[in-house]
Every structure is written in C-alpha cells, then in structure tokens.
Structure 1
Amino acid sequence: MNRTATISFSFKAALASTLGGILLTAGATTALADYPERPLTMVVAAGPGGSNDRAARVMSNFLAEELGQPVNVVNRPGGGNLLGHEYLRQQAADGYTLLRTTAIPYMTINQELQGASFTIEDFQPLNLVDIDTSMIASSTRGDYDSIDDLIAAISDNPGSVSMGVQPTSSDMINATLFLEAIGLSVDDVRVVTFDGGGDVRTGVAGNQFDFGVVGEAGLRQMSSEIEPLMTFSREPMSDVWDAPHVLEVVDQHGVEDYPHVLSGSIRGYFVHYELMEEEPERYARLVEAFENIANNPEAIEAHHEQDLTIDWMGPEASREMMLQEHESLARPEFLQIVQPD
C-alpha cells in the first residue's frame, strides 16, 4: 500500500470512528430526552393516610414538574409492606415504577422471616429522607404523664396496662428490649396490635390504649393531644419533645449495658437495583430530579407543612445506611421479637 492510500485509509477510519461516536452519543441523548414518554407510577407499600402515603403524594406533584409527566400514586399495603415490595419487583426495571416505603425494618423482615422472593439488595434507594425515632407516648387524656408513672403501673399491675404497637416493627423491638432491660417484659402489658403506624398514632391521641410505641415524626402534628414519655434515641430530643431518652431512663434503673437502640423506621424512595445497569441514563435522570426537589424551597415548605422531611442524602450514602441497618436488625434475637404468627 502506497503512502497516499495509507493516508486516505487512516482518514476514513478516523472519520468513521468520529461519526460512530457522534451517533452513539446522539442515540444516548435521544434515549434520555425521550424519558419519560408516559406517566410514572409511585407505589406506596402502605395504606392511605400514613406518612409514606402523604409523602408520596406531595413528592409526586413536584416530580411531575421535574419530569414533565404525571406521577400516579398507587397504594399496595399488606403483609408488613411485603405486597408493595413484591409488586415493584414484578414491574419492569425501566424507571417507570418507583417505590415509597419504610425499608427498615420491613425489607429485612420480608427477607429474613416472610420468605420474600427478593433480598434488600434488589432495591436501590434514590434517597432516604426519613429516620423516624421510636417513642413511647400516651394521650393527654390518659393516666400517665411520665415514664416513671408508666413503669410503676406496669410493675404494680402486670397485664392491666395496654400498649398499642405494630407487631412487626422497630417500635416493637425497641419496646421489648426496654421492658426486659428494666426487669419487665412484653407479657406484663396487654399488646394491642395495628397494621400501620397511622392507626397507632390515632389510638394514642384518642386514648384507645394506655400508651403507644410508634415513630415520633407522625406525632408532631398531634402534639397537643399526646403526652411524650420517652424517646428511643441516643441523645435528648429536647428541641422537639420534653421527654427523657431511653439511655437516660435505663441508667436511672441501674442498667449499665443496654443491648441496642434501633434507629427506628427508615423511609425513602426506591427503584429496581437493575435500573442502574440496564438504564443508567434513566437512573441518573431520576437521581437528578429527586436532588432538585430536595433543594427546591417550595418542595421543602410543602413537606414541612405536613411534618415530613426531605433532606438530601443521595443514593450512595442511602444504600450504605440501608445495608448497615439491615445487618444490625437481622440479628436472630431481634428477629425473634417480630416473628410473624
């Protein structure tokens, strides 16, 4: 081959390579520009009225603005969020179906105790927005206005004091560990169970039982109706509640080595894990949309009006926290407490 032919061949090869790159880039850009082409679905793995449902409905409005397509909220409650989680996994991993749920403890319980077809690793968080600390509370119309009064009543009259709680929840684990640490047990109270935290909160405010153990965030809207008795936090929450935290209380009872304080319910927004690999542009677009909303003053105000949080943690840090909390919760002695019947 002569020099002229070599130069001609090299030029044609370079041109072909350049055009190929342009076409690939254009194809990726077009694919991203076309997404989403139709409405999205936001699955809520819980019933209407609870914090997950309220957050999804607020978020869906702002997400529709970001993406240019409606976002329809669909409730799929049941089985400790199992039905909603299974429902997402049955949908295509194409970015058109999202999930709002309480990942911890329910994904752990689904996986470890309920024979779920998935593992927690199959879900990719876009953002964890809410860590809801467990709290013991009673009604302002009830008989107890301090944790000491409640403990004394349980000790003096085993079986007569009633406790409202979700049976498969971090709240139940925290309550059990606390009672056992101070020399009591769940058998010393009458347990009244509910399917959702919203029902427990309503029961607390309505004085339907003597005390409830439930996430504190949802109680803030009804603070005038409830008496905070103790938070399951490692530090005081005095900026929100006038109540001692669990480590302070057990210390007063001479407990030197408290077993564990679970973080409570951890909620957020999720997609299929496969979306990151199979549709990376769509995944990136969703992450961008959620981050924009988390920094949108109007969205922040809309969430705060309903006592909802919208802080930006991001997918990487969210996944790390989710898996760490899953590992902590998946201890046999904890799972035994929330073993479904």
Structure 2
Amino acid sequence: MTENNDKLHLKRRSFMIGAAAVGAGLAMPSLSRAASWPERPLTMIVPSDAGGSLDRTIRGLSTVMQKHIGQPIQVENRPGGSFMLGVRYFLQQPQDGDVILAHALSPYIASSILFHDAPYKMEDFSFINAHWSDWDVIAAYKDSPYQTLPDLLKAIKENPKKVRASVVTGSSGHLTTLLMLQRSGIPIENLNLVTFQGGGQARQAIAGGQVDFIVIAGSGSEGIRDFIKPLAVVRDTPHADWDAPVLGEATKPLGLSLPVLPGSMRGLAMSSGFRAEHPDRWDIISSAYKATLEDPEFIEFAETNAMGHDWLGAEETTAKVMAVHDVFAEFKPLLQR
C-alpha cells in the first residue's frame, strides 16, 4: 500500500508540475506579445488644423512620449467637419493601438454628437487622460474701441452686423458668446459671428484685426497677447497672468448671470473596443503617457509654453468629459440655432 501510495503521489506531483508548465507555456506568448508591442511607429490623429494649441501640445507630447513607448510617434492633422472627419478617420482604423486619438476631448466630442449628428457616440471612446484643461478669455482686438465687456455688448446691440467675432465651432467659447447675447436681450443675428475649425485660425483672425473680439481658450492664447486686450476671463477666480475681471464681475453692471463654462480638455483617447480587447496595450500607452507627463523634458516644454501637464487618469477624465457633455446638452437648442 505504501509503495502504491508513493507512486500515486509521484504521479499527482508530476501532473501538477506538468500542468503548471503547460499553464506557464500558454501564458508566456501573451506576456511576450505585450512586451514586444508596439512593433512599429505609432500615429496620433489630431482632428484640427496645425498651429493651434491642441496641435502644439500634442507635438510636444509625442516628441517626448516616443522615448517612453519605444517607437517613433507621427502626428497627423485631419481637420474638418467640426472635428468629425479626424475622429471618424481614427475610428475607421484597425483598433490595435497603433493609432491614437489626440483631441480636445471636451467639449468637441460632445458638441459634434449633440449638434452635428456625428456618426459615433460618447460610449465609443475610452479616455486615457486630459493633461491640459483650459479656461476661456473674452478679448477684443488691441486697436478696437471696446474697453469693457459692457462696451462691447452695447455696440453689438446698437450696431447690428457691424461687430465681428471669431470662435471655434462647438466650443465653450461659442456657447458663452451665444449666452451673453441671449441673456442681454440682443438678437443673435446682430453679431457677425465667424466660426473656425480650430483655434489657430480663430486666433489668426483676431491677431490680424479681421474680427473685433474672440472668445477662446486663454492658456492657448499666449502667442497673441500683443494683439488683444482681455475684457474678461471665464473663471470663478482671477488669473495672475491676465489683467481682466472674472466673468461675473465683468457682467455685474449689466445685471447678467452667466454660467462659467469649462474650457478645452486636451488629451488622448482610444476606442472602447480597443481597451476591452487589448488591456495590456492600453496599460502600455497609459504608462508611457503618464511617464511623459512626469518627464522633466516635457514639463519644461509645457511650462515654457503655458501648457498643462496633469495626470488625472481615466476615471477622473471620463467624469469631467461627461459632466461637460451634460452642460452642453442643457443648452442644445441655443447652439442649434
């Protein structure tokens, strides 16, 4: 009996060792694949024009991130269609991680869905992180006669179609502009509103004196400071670098109450399908992105150019993006006019 038991014990032990070896053998290819990816250069799709604040921060990010992910990263601009062309192109690519969406995740994904019948929905995306969240500035052209926000609104009311403004279509600045007019009792048609597909073009318009004022992301507007005079910052607290009242103070003489809308949240996203099918690659991209934001080289680039380098993570980023979606949904009738 003892000999048989010993043989049985040895057989069981041999089976356990063999099973463990087989299990390890099955697991190793997956680990090997994770370790070897990416095997070729990656592409970041920017669905706006070159030269805007989104484009500039992503080019700086990609330059540093490629050393953390082990492959070159190409930045490809695909503007048009209220940012939908680039986003749709991204979703049409193989969702294997080799193509990354680099976008102002909020508010433009939400606004394209709510106001432009985009062929995708919020649930199609998994947001990795928004490293640069902005706020808006309302600024007049430097040589314009407008010294305060009430001056500007009075001119729009008394001179229909004479005052020109530039905004990025579907942006928080776009909505703030329309809300200012609506709550001031000024017909929206009074303003000659010029909409652009990206911040670079909108800023060029004000810098060249082609429009009288702009409502746009403040931190992305450092390059045009010499061409504008700020009338208000769309914030709850003043900004040390901008000599302008907060929106509530600027509109107090008019008795207006306006919501302080959050500005652009620039960062990276993948499709929700990619995250579900390739969690190992999702982790590789996320880790490389986080390492980039902590890299002194990128921190110096970001701070020199007045850009953010925050790590919020997927959960907090998603919560913030969805909160802005809900705000824009509330004012959907106004932006659809």
TM-score, with structure 1 as normaliser? 0.91
Shift of 1:148: 3.0
Give 1:55's aligned amino acid.
T
How many Å apart are 1:45 and its aligned residue?
0.6
Contact 1:168-1:339 at 8 Å conserved across structures: no
Alignment of 1:297-308 (within 5 A): 297-308=296-307
Shift in Å, 1:31:
1.0
1:118-150 CA deviation, whole Å, 9 max, x = no partner?
211211122102222222111222222322322
2:116 to 109, 114, 117: 114
Q: Relative to structure 2, which stretch is displaced further, 313-322 or 106-115?
A: 106-115
What does residue range 200-219 of structure 1 map to in structure 2 within 5 Å? 200-219=202-221
Paired residues, what number?
A: 335
Question: Which residue is 1:242 aligned to?
Answer: 243
Letter in 2 for 1:281: D
Rounded to whole Å, the distance in 1 between the matches of 2:12 and 2:189 is 83
Whether contact under 8 Å (1:221, 1:307) holds in the other structure is: no
Amino acid of the structure 1 residue aligned with 2:245: P
Counterpart mapping for 1:48-87 below 5 A: 48-87=50-89
Match of 2:34 in 1: 32
Name 1:337's counterpart in structure 2.
Answer: 334
Gaps of 5+ in 1: none
Is the CA contact 2:147–2:231 (under 8 Å) kept in the aligned structure 1?
yes
Deviates more, 1:187-196 or 1:72-81: 187-196
CA contact (8 A) 1:167 1:338 kept: no
| Aligned positions of 1:45-194 closer than 5 A | 45-194=47-196
Find the aligned partners of 2:171 and 2:218 in 1 and give their Cα distance: 14
Return the letter of the residue paired with 2:141. S
Q: Cα–Cα, structure 1 residues 113 and 311, in superposed 2: closer, same or farther, change >3 Å?
A: same
- 1 CA distance for matches of 2:63 and 2:49? 19
The alpha-carbon distance between structure 1 residues 17 and 323, as it changes in their structure 2 partners (threshold 3 A), is farther
RMSD: 2.0
- Shift, 1:260, TM fit: 2.8
| Deviating 4+ runs (over 4 angstroms) | none
Taking the TM superposition and a 5 Å limit, the aligned residue runs for 1:267-306 are 267-306=266-305
Task: For structure 2, list consecutive stretches of 5 or more residues without a partner in the other structure.
Answer: none
Residue 254, structure 1, aligned to residue 251, structure 2 = no
Counterpart amino acid of residue 273 in structure 2: E
The answer on whether the counterparts of 1:52 and 1:101 sit within 8 Å (CA) in structure 2 is yes
Contact 1:52 1:102 in 2 (8 A): yes
Tell me the distance in 2 between the aligned counterparts of 1:111 and 1:209.
28
How big is the shift at 1:5? 4.0
CA distance in 1, matches of 2:24, 2:194: 64
Output the amino acid matched with 2:56: R
Aligned-pair CA distance for 1:300: 1.0
Greater share of helix residues, 1 or 2? 2
After superposition, what is the alpha-carbon deviation per residue over 1:212-263, rounded to whole angstroms, capped at 9, x for unaligned? 11111221122122100112222222x12111122223333223xx353221
Write the distance in 2 (CA, Å) between the matches of 1:200 and 1:37: 39
1:273 maps to a residue whose letter is S
For residues 224 and 251 of structure 2, what CA distance do their matches in structure 1 show? 27
| Residues 83-130 of structure 1, C-alpha deviations (whole Å, 9 max, x = no match) | 111111111121110011122222112223333232112111221022
